[in-house]
C-alpha cells in the first residue's frame, strides 16, 4: 500500500493535491460535483481587504496548450470571505484550507491577513505577491526581493498561521526573491504564478483581452514551473508548493521530484471540473508504476 500523505509547514495532508486559487472558487461550488474531502487542501479564491469587481471583459482568452486570464482579483472582500464563504466551505470540507491574500500596499496585505488568520478553517496564509492582472500592486511586490521581503516581514508579525509566499515567474531571478522572503520569515513559498502573455484578434487587429495582457497558465508553462521549483529548492530550506500546468498524476510526481512538498492544480480545473479528483484517484497507481512507496521520500529526488 503506497503512502500519499505529506506534511506542509507542519500540517499533515492526506495527499499533496490542492486546487489553486482562482480556479476552484471558494471550494463549496465543487462539492456539488464530488466529495471534495478527497483533496489534500484547497487554496480559496484570492481575497483583498475590500471587495473588488475585477477587470473589464473580455478577460479570458484561449491559447495553444493553455489560457490567458485577466480576471483582476474579483472577490467579495475579506470580511465577507470570513463571515460567509469560509463557513460555507467548512460545511462540506473538513480539512484546513489556504487563504490566498492579495493587496495594493503593505497595509492592505496585513489587514486582510489579520482577518483571515483568525478564521478557524484557515491552515495557511498564501500571500500572493505575484498577480500580474492588477494595477498599482500585486506583482509589483513580487518582482523585487526587497519589496517581497517587506510584505513578508509585515505579515509574519501579525500572523499566527504559517505564511506561504506566492512568487512570480515574471522575474530574471526567482531564486533571489525566494531567498529574500525566507530570510524575512516566510514558512514556505508557492510557485509559479502565471506568465505574462498576450493575444491579438486578427479580425479586429486589437488585443483580445480588455486589459491587453494577461496571465498564461496551463500545460504550456509546466516546464518553466518545474525548472523554477528545481532552482528554488536548491536555494531555500523552507517547503515549496509547486504549480504550473499540473493536469495528471505524473505531473505531480515530476513536480515533487523537482522539490515540491505539495502541488496546486490550476487551469486544469477550468477545462475539467473533476481534474483534482481524478489526479487523487490515479496517484496511487502511478506511484506503484514508478516504484514509489512514500511520496514524501521523493521530494527533491531529482537533485
Q: All 3 cell numbers of residue 296?
A: 514524501
C-alpha–C-alpha distance, residues 139 and 127, integer Å: 11
Rounded to the nearest 10°, the torsion over CA 147, 149, 155, 159 is 170
Asked if 131 is an active-site residue, the reply is yes
> Rounded to an integer, what is the distance from CA 45 to the centroid of its chain?
10
Cβ neighbours, 10 Å, residue 189: 29
Catalytic annotation, pick one of 9, 113, 131, 276: 131
> Rounded to an integer, what is the distance from CA 227 to the centroid of its chain?
17
Rounded to the nearest 10°, the torsion over CA 11, 256, 164, 177 is 150
For the chain, first and last CA: distance in Å?
26
Handedness of CA 125, 50, 196, 278 (dihedral sign): positive
**Region class of 158: left (phi > 0), else alpha (psi between -120 and 50), else beta:** alpha
Q: All 3 cell numbers of residue 38?
A: 478527497
As annotated, the active-site residues are 131
Amino acid at each position: 500500500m503506497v503512502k500519499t500523505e505529506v506534511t506542509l509547514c507542519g500540517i499533515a495532508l492526506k495527499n499533496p493535491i490542492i486546487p489553486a486559487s482562482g480556479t476552484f472558487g471558494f471550494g463549496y461550488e465543487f462539492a456539488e460535483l464530488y466529495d471534495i474531502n478527497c483533496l489534500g487542501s484547497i487554496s480559496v479564491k484570492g481575497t483583498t481587504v475590500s471587495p473588488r469587481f475585477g477587470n473589464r471583459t473580455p478577460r479570458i482568452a484561449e491559447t495553444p496548450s493553455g489560457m490567458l486570464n485577466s480576471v483582476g482579483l474579483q472577490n467579495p472582500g475579506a470580511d465577507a470571505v470570513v463571515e460567509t464563504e469560509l463557513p460555507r466551505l467548512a460545511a462540506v470540507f473538513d480539512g484546513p484550507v489556504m487563504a490566498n491574500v492579495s493587496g495594493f500596499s503593505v497595509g492592505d496585505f496585513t489587514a486582510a491577513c489579520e482577518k483571515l488568520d483568525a478564521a478557524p478553517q484557515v491552515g495557511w496564509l498564501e500571500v500572493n505577491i505575484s498577480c500580474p492582472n492588477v494595477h498599482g500592486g500585486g506583482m509589483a511586490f513580487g518582482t523585487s526581493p526587497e519589496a517581497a521581503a517587506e510584505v513578508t516581514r509585515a505579515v509574519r508579525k501579525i500572523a499566527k498561521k504559517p505564511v506561504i509566499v506566492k512568487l512570480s515567474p515574471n522575474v530574471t531571478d526567482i531564486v533571489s526573491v525566494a531567498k529574500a522572503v525566507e530570510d524575512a520569515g516566510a514558512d514556505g513559498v508557492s510557485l509559479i504564478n502565471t506568465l505574462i502573455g498576450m493575444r491579438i484578434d486578427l479580425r479586429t487587429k486589437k488585443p483580445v483581452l480588455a486589459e491587453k495582457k494577461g496571465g498564461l497558465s496551463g500545460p504550456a508553462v509546466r516546464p518553466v514551473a518545474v525548472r523554477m521549483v528545481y532552482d528554488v529548492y536548491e536555494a531555500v530550506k523552507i517547503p515549496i508548493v509547486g504549480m504550473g500546468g499540473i493536469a495528471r498524476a505524473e505531473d505531480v510526481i515530476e513536480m515533487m521530484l523537482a522539490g515540491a512538498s505539495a502541488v496546486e492544480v490550476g487551469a486544469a480545473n477550468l477545462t475539467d471540473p473533476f481534474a483534482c479528483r481524478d489526479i487523487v484517484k490515479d496517484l496511487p497507481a502511478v506511484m506503484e508504476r514508478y516504484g514509489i512507496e512514500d511520496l514524501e521520500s521523493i521530494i527533491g529526488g531529482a537533485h
